[in-house]
A and B are shown apart, each in its own frame.
Chain A
Amino acid sequence: MTATQVDRGSTETTTVYTEGPDLVMERVFDAPRDLVWQVITDPERITNWWGPHGYTTTVEEMDVRPGGRWRFIQHTTGGEDVPFKGEYLEVVPPERVVQTFIFDVEPFNNEAAITTLTLEDLGGRTKMTSRDRFPSVESLEGALSTGMVGGAIQTWDRLAAVLGEAG
């Protein structure tokens, strides 16, 4: 049985839909795949684009290899610190990363989403697909109610800008 795809606020640049307990985002970046891979797996560079506009990020830990952990602190414009963490499950340069994604605040950190990030080479351009699999539809809808899609789209806008400067 396949779940139906439901659009969840796609924009001109980014396709966003849910499918069962999955949140899927797709966007084509105007940069070669190797460069996209470098920018998304480099702890030095991730602070340049991770998080919505106006937010800054501190990388506490980012060990991009199977079994390695990551933990980022997002500093909001309101001066609050919002921690996220996870573990890398699969790392296949330059095409795929599978990692857990945990909103590290009690009681939300009792469950993890599993994010699969796929980079597809379009010859000088790259299609990035992110699929977050939540433990349940309820968790997915809860996360969506926080406005996470808007934040993720802004994050990808910032990534596109960083890739533009690097390219």
Chain B
Amino acid sequence: MKRNTEMEPDRLSITFAALADPTRRAILARLALGEATVTELAAPFDMSLPGISKHLKVLQRAGLIEQGRQAQWRPCRLAPEPLRSVADWVGQYRRHWEQSFERLDAYLRDLQDKQEQGKGDDDDRDPSRPR
């Protein structure tokens, strides 16, 4: 399937863009604990309603929060579904970092064996570099 990435951003880009802000991530973290009204969300950030409303709009467009259209004073709710796509995307790279960890394990084991063999005979070797 070919995506038309130039015309409009795909869902994943919209989700990442919404997440690319510490205030918005803090809002999501707060909502993960339960529903909250706009004023409750604004309080910890010492932010005015216009300020917090802009962030909520971005999160709403990304589908990360839910609030009735005509119900601006109702509590907002976390809508976690887009985060699954983020987790899936990141998950593709899991085996890469797991492989790196396995190589690091092997290297550290190797290093320990060398040290047990005795000191002084490996001064010319750079210990930070795997062989």
Q: Interface on A for B, CB 8 Å cutoff?
A: 76, 78, 80-83, 103, 105-108, 110-111, 138-139, 141-143, 145-146
Contact = CB atoms under 8 A, between A and B. Distances in A.
Nearest to A80: B48
Contact of A142 (B51, B69, B70, B73): B73
Nearest to B48: A80
B50 A81 contact: yes
Given A110-B72, A142-B37, A78 B48 contact: yes
Nearest to A134: B73
B115 interface: no
10 contacts: A78-B46, A80-B48, A106-B53, A106-B57, A108-B49, A108-B72, A141-B73, A142-B38, A142-B39, A143-B73
Interface of A is mostly: mixed
Contacts of B40: 145
A111 B70 CA distance: 9
A127 B49 CA distance: 32
Given A145-B37, A146-B39, A110 B70 contact: yes
B39 A145 contact: yes
Interface in B54-89: 57, 69-74
Nearest to B72: A107
Given A110-B72, A138-B73, A139-B73, A146 B49 contact: yes
Interface string B29-49: 000000001111000001111
Contacts of A142: 37-39, 72-73
Contacts of A145: 37, 39-40, 73
A142 B71 CA distance: 10
B73 A80 contact: no
Contacts of B72: 107-108, 110-111, 142
Contacts of A139: 73
A105 B50 contact: yes
A82 B50 CA distance: 7
Contacts of B50: 80-83, 105
A146 B37 CA distance: 11
B55 to A, nearest CB: 12
Q: Which of B39, B69, B73 has the most CB of A within 10 A?
A: B73
A60 B71 CA distance: 28
Contacts of B71: 138
